[in-house]
A and B are shown apart, each in its own frame.
Chain A
Amino acid sequence: MRRGVVALLIVCLVAVALIPGCQPTSEGTIKIGVIGPMTFIQGEQHWYGAKMAADEINEAGGVVVGNVTMPIELVKIDSNEMLSVPDAATAMEKAITVDKVDFLVGGFRTEAVLPMQDIAMDHHKIFLGCGAADRVLCERVAEDYDKYKYWFRITPVNDALLGTICYLNLFNVINVVKDELGIEKPKVALLMEKAAIGDNLVGHSHHLVPAMNVELIEEAWRPSPTATDVTAELSAIKDSGAHIILTYFSGPAGIVYAKQWGELEIPAASVGINVEAQKSGFWDATGGKGNYDTSLNVYNPIEQTDKSIPFFNKFVEETGEFPTYTAGTYDALYILKDAIERAGTLDPDAIVTELENTDYHGAGGRMVFMSTETGVPHDITWGPGYVTGIGTQWRDGELLCVWPPVDGSWNGVVYEGTVAYELPPWVIDYWEAK
């Protein structure tokens, strides 16, 4: 009897699943899955960015596909990738097979995006990456174009280029230290959390930093990404006589670091990558002690393109947060819309061809995808005239753009609204008293 009831239930479930009317359908709408860690700020910003763009596009009438105009329907997909990489693959599978999305934007951690990318490629779904920086995601396109051609990276620039921007920001600070403190050959200490990008940066630093006519302190300090206290590391750095700390922090340790660096008034300028310092909550989270911390960034109310300031202001108005790089889903949706309209069809292969021809002035800069010859096809192009990235410094509760330098010394690139980098006053006092 009991077995019979169970069997009957299974038959009913299968029957319900097979009835076409019970399946979600994307007929009449373009379904875009926004996939990310939705209980974390990175996923929230994926969603906010995409929603802002979708609302604007729908208000303007929708996406013109041949002779038909179709609205965008967003589907929020929680990848839970911060806590569980396998969950991310399951979420991607569900988005494609159950929610029946037509396109995907998002992803954050490289180790989660790799399996997500595989699943999307197997289903020939266009996936616009807005979070993971590893070059390998685009190297796969070069290695197996037919399989991986549906992948494009919108933001951030790849990890090698992130390193380049980081060193350009460092060079800017080195010049200020030399000019203002009169130190001919400043000392640079590396404080970088133990993570894959941190490993690469430490490796590159040993070649690149000494070439900037500075002394690199041989040993780098490598705290855990979940470190709750870095006072010992900061004491050791102060002991080493460093004038500048080159940082890499991707998570909460960045708040702990900035708070303790400011509270202890460590006499070394802080520059590098501190993801938490890109967020509006950083000032409160550090109790204002993160003043003068400088980090690589993507968005700020400066004129990278004519869309940058309106996007930044609207994002802050609607969410109460500064946009960080995962909010690049905003540009992703517009790039996708333009490609669909040029292709005049929802056929993914035709859209891939149009995406490869993208030349779009977005909120994050001029966006053009790299070609196969670069070794990282479908990656976003970086450089003067394209996406450049920026350096931002916290100053009295405001996040100001300090790189590209205001004097135009980097290839003549200057964004309106940029200000000169300033050394923390306690750093000046300490070294002037020496």
Chain B
Amino acid sequence: MVANILINGAITGGIYALLALGFSLIFGVAKIINLAHTAFYMVAAYFIFTFAHLLGLSAPLSAIVSIIITTAIGVGTYKLVIERIREHETTVLMITIALALVFQEAMLLAFGSHFRSAPSFVSGHVELLGVSVTIQHILTFGVVLACLFGIWMLLSKSKLGIAIRAVAQDREIANLVGINVNTICLITMALAVALAAVAGAMVAPIFVIQPHMWMHPLIMVLAVVVLGGLGSLKGSFAAAFILGYTETLVVFLLPMGSFIKAAVALAVMVAVLLIRPEGLFGVAFEEERL
């Protein structure tokens, strides 16, 4: 049972981490709470379904094209809608949730409410420590690690990453030293949407594609980033695995209650926040963010 919990918890946590990464990134840099984040994940999943099933492209090619198109839609949405109201946090919340609903209704109109599925990149399963795991789950976990490593390298080793961190720390000072804050925010938005699209591409073959598929992940993503500390990437990563392991523990230790696994995970979040309101890696005051 221990091996089961270790492996299944890591896989669940990995999926949450991949979804939360982009959300946390755009909040950390542009202070945008993008409630349409998981809607982009849903849009990417539908594109994969379209390219793979309706146009007959291979699963990897469908995923690449979907990620590019979804990122373009995300950038367009940012330029047309979010950028203009970026400074008004409450308005951003309302507009992004409205955008998510628009995407949902658009998918409902285009594809109906039928449940769809995308092909796996690799089918089959392997035995790890006596536990059966699908190769798609392992691939997803690998992509999570690769994305995290890629983002860490970008932020810590590249000029663009330094500029992104500078904007995240103090937008005015960054502006004064010649960084184009608007461009950095746009690039970060593109990165965040691309990460959501990657998440969509990876989990589309695991989950069921349907117009309401963005809602539950949004709740979990919000829980992950709040628990980890808003805007903290390492916090989101740690929180994703805390919630993933909590859910898995509930399934194994309390089978009759497996339907409340998400609620138990959220209760853990509440308990942690009562002790540490700023989250695991959050800052109580903005000046502490370094």
Contacts and interface: CB of A to CB of B under 8 A. Distances in A.
B117 A228 contact: no
A229 B256 CA distance: 16
A23 interface: no
A64 B203 CA distance: 56
A39 to B, nearest CB: 5
B117 A255 contact: yes
Given A220-B255, A222-B256, A224-B262, A229 B207 contact: yes
A266 interface: yes
Contacts of B119: 287
B256 A252 contact: no
A234 B113 CA distance: 27
B255 A224 contact: no
Interface SS of A by simple majority: loop
Interface string A143-167: 0000000000000000000000000
Contact of A287 (B108, B205, B256): B205
Given A219-B255, A226-B216, A265 B115 contact: no
Q: Please indicate which of the listed interface residues B117, B203, B205 has the most CB atoms of chain A within 10 Å of its own CB.
A: B117
Contacts of A239: 1, 4
A231 B205 CA distance: 14
A228 B255 contact: no
B178 interface: no
Nearest to B247: A232
Contacts of B216: 226, 228
A235 interface: yes
Interface in B180-222: 203, 205-208, 210, 213, 216-217
B150 interface: no
Interface string A267-286: 00000000010000100111
A168 interface: no
Interface string B120-133: 10011100000111
Interface string B99-139: 00000000010001111110110011100000111101100
A410 interface: no
A406 to B, nearest CB: 31
Given A224-B259, A265-B132, A229 B206 contact: yes
A233 to B, nearest CB: 6
Interface in B80-102: none
Given A41-B113, A221-B258, A232 B8 contact: yes
A358 interface: no
B251 interface: yes
A8 B247 CA distance: 61
B142 interface: no
A276 B208 CA distance: 12
A40 interface: yes
Interface in A276-323: 276, 281, 284-287, 289
B252 A228 contact: no
Contacts of A285: 115-117, 208
A233 B11 CA distance: 13
A40 B108 CA distance: 10
B76 interface: no
A238 interface: yes
Contacts of B251: 221, 232-233, 236
B114 to A, nearest CB: 6
A235 B4 contact: yes
Contact of A193 (B4, B116, B256, B259): B259
Contact of A238 (B53, B116, B132): B132
Given A228-B216, A232-B248, A256 B113 contact: no
Interface string A229-270: 101111110110000000000001001100110011110000
Q: Please indicate which of the listed interface residues A231, A239, A264, A287 has the most CB atoms of chain B within 10 Å of its own CB.
A: A231
Nearest to B209: A285
Nearest to B262: A224
Contacts of A286: 117
Contacts of A236: 1, 4, 251-252, 255
A264 B206 contact: no
B259 A263 contact: no
Contact of B112 (A39, A232, A234): A39
A194 interface: yes
Contacts of B24: none
B53 A264 contact: no
B117 A287 contact: yes
A375 interface: no
Contacts of B257: 222
A220 B12 CA distance: 21
Contacts of B217: 228
A281 B1 contact: no
Nearest to A286: B117
A133 B39 CA distance: 34
Nearest to A234: B132
Given A235-B131, A276-B115, A285-B208, A222 B255 contact: yes
The 4 A-B pairs with the shortest beta carbon distances in the complex, nearest first, are: A194-B259, A232-B251, A219-B255, A224-B259
Given A227-B259, A264-B134, 11 more contacts: A193-B259, A221-B255, A221-B258, A222-B256, A222-B259, A224-B260, A263-B124, A263-B136, A264-B125, A285-B117, A287-B123
